[in-house]
Structure 1
Amino acid sequence: MRIGAHVDPAEPLDAAAARGADAVQFFLADPQGWKSPAARPDAEALKTSDVDVYIHAPYVINVATLNNRIRIPSRKLLLAHARAAAAVGAKGLIVHGGHVNAGDDIAVGFDNWRKTFAYAEKEGGLPLPILIENTAGGDHAIARRFDNLKRLWDAVGEFGAGFCLDTCHAHAGGEELLDIVDRVKSITGRIDLIHANDSKDTFDSGRDRHDNLGNGKIDPELVVAAIRAADAPAIVETPGGVEGQTADIALLREKAGS
């Protein structure tokens, strides 16, 4: 069982060593910006390391929206990050499901995701798995509620889309963690990665605020159970820097029998 952490992108391998992590996740560019990622001087070291690498796409990406001024650049930026992630040997590129605006037809949002994968195929294909992540808030979100997740997978499943299950997002988004893996796999057929996070807020709050395992509103045993059931690697995206994340990784290793 591979367990790691989301870290600062400056020295991800050093950050992994400091935490005793088997895996790292980081951004390749400003998560709130639209710039394409630059080549990394440590690309070869990342590719040949024993540490598994995952890349998180910028938060600004929203390929579901009906707003052309956001959707079209989002498609292009997603593909740029996919190529850059492959260049550092990443096992997957995580991207949020996105949303449509109030009053928009959400069915178009699902189809826009289909068009995103079709666009990537026309541009030469995606060089690594795209892992769509469930999100915590929004009444018009594409991947908050699992009824919408079903509609999304009807649109993108044929393209081999992967899935990243965030435990904080599920809890805050109104999806119970008990038996969550079975419910997700009945829709997607797969879980490629777990974001193992506690939540500062109550169930169905719609608020995306991560906490260290055992400090928030989620029973850590439910997080451990999800990791075991999914048989997938886990990344903690929790606060507290090296100390906080090292403790979270240790807890997961102890409880999950790693």
Structure 2
Amino acid sequence: MRIGAHVDPAEPLAEAAARGADLVQFFLTDPQGWADPKDRPDAEALIASDVDVYIHAPYRINVASSNNRIRIPSRKLLFRHASGAAKVGAKGLIVHGGHVESADGLEAGFDNWRKTFKFAADEGGFATPVLIENTAGGDNACARRFDALARLWDAVGEYEVGFCLDTCHAHAGGEDLLDIVERVKAITGRIDLIHANNSRDGFDSGRDRHDNLTAGEIDPELIVAVIRAAGAPALVETPGGADGQTADITYLRERLA
């Protein structure tokens, strides 16, 4: 079972070594911006390393939106980050499921996701596998509640789409972790990556605030059980820098051994 962490992008391999991580996730650009990724001087080292690399797309990407000034730049940025992720040998590009402006726009939002993957397929596919991540908040989110997630997968499931399960997002989004792997796989057929995070807030709070594994509102053994059942690589996006994340990685390794 490969376990790792989300790290600062400046020196991800050094950050991985500091945590004893098997894999790292990082941003290629400011996560709150619209910038295209630039070539990294450590690209060859990342590709040659035994550390698996995942890239998280900017938070601003929302290809579901009905607003052309958001949706069109989002689609372009997703393609560019997939290309940037390929240049560092990433195994996946994680992107949030997005949201629409009103509940009656959800069908159009799902169809906008479909159009994104259809366009990619017509152009030869994304340069890096895209993993859609479940989200914590928003009444009009495409991937918070699993009834919406099922409708999203009805739209995109014919394409090669991956899934990233975030345990904090599920808990805060109102989805019980107890049988979550079975329910997700019944919808998507797969779980490619786990974001193993505890939550500072209660069940169905809609708040996306991560906590260290033994410090939050979720029973940490439930998070361990999710990883074990999914059989997927996992990474922590938890606070405390190298010390806090090393403790979380050690906790997972000891219980998954």
What range describes the TM-score normalised by the shorter chain of this pair? over 0.9
Instruction: Identify the residue that residue 68 of structure 2 maps to in structure 1.
Output: 68
Q: Which whole-Å CA distance do the structure 1 matches of 2:163 and 2:120 have between them?
A: 18
**Identity score, percent:** 77
RMSD: 0.8
| Native 8 Å contact 1:164 1:194 kept in 2 | yes
Q: Which whole-Å CA distance do the structure 2 matches of 1:103 and 1:245 have between them?
A: 38
Q: Which whole-Å CA distance do the structure 2 matches of 1:183 and 1:121 have between them?
A: 27
Instruction: Identify the residue that residue 126 of structure 2 maps to in structure 1.
Output: 126
Secondary structure of 1:120's aligned partner:
helix
TM-score by length of 1: 0.98
Instruction: Identify the residue that residue 153 of structure 2 maps to in structure 1.
Output: 153
Q: Which whole-Å CA distance do the structure 2 matches of 1:141 and 1:29 have between them?
A: 24
| Native 8 Å contact 1:66 1:104 kept in 2 | no
Secondary structure of 2:157's aligned partner:
helix
Instruction: Identify the residue that residue 58 of structure 1 maps to in structure 2.
Output: 58
Alpha-carbon distance, 1:160 to partner: 1.2
Q: Do structure 1's residue 256 and structure 2's residue 242 form an aligned pair?
A: no
Secondary structure of 1:114's aligned partner:
helix
Q: Which whole-Å CA distance do the structure 2 matches of 1:8 and 1:184 have between them?
A: 30
Residue correspondence of structure 1 range 8-157 to structure 2 within 5 A: 8-102=8-102, 104-157=104-157
Q: Which whole-Å CA distance do the structure 2 matches of 1:35 and 1:188 have between them?
A: 31
Alpha-carbon distance, 1:103 to partner: 5.3
What 5-or-longer segments of structure 2 have no aligned partner? none
Q: Which whole-Å CA distance do the structure 2 matches of 1:49 and 1:65 have between them?
A: 37
What 5-or-longer segments of structure 1 have no aligned partner? none
Instruction: Identify the residue that residue 165 of structure 1 maps to in structure 2.
Output: 165
Structure 1 consecutive aligned stretches of length 4 or more whose deviation exceeds 6 Å: none
- 1:179-229 Cα offsets, whole Å, 9 max, x none, are 100000000000000000000000000000000001010000100000000
Q: Do structure 1's residue 225 and structure 2's residue 221 form an aligned pair?
A: no
Q: Which whole-Å CA distance do the structure 1 matches of 2:59 and 2:252 have between them?
A: 27
Q: Which whole-Å CA distance do the structure 2 matches of 1:242 and 1:175 have between them?
A: 30
Which AA in structure 1 matches 2:188?
T
TM-score by length of 2: 0.99
- 1:91-140 Cα offsets, whole Å, 9 max, x none, are 00000000001254210000000001112223342122100000000000
| Native 8 Å contact 2:103 2:140 kept in 1 | no
Q: Which whole-Å CA distance do the structure 2 matches of 1:44 and 1:239 have between them?
A: 29
Question: What is the number of residues matched between the two proteins?
Answer: 257
Which AA in structure 2 matches 1:30?
D
Alpha-carbon distance, 1:26 to partner: 0.1
Residue correspondence of structure 1 range 198-237 to structure 2 within 5 A: 198-237=198-237
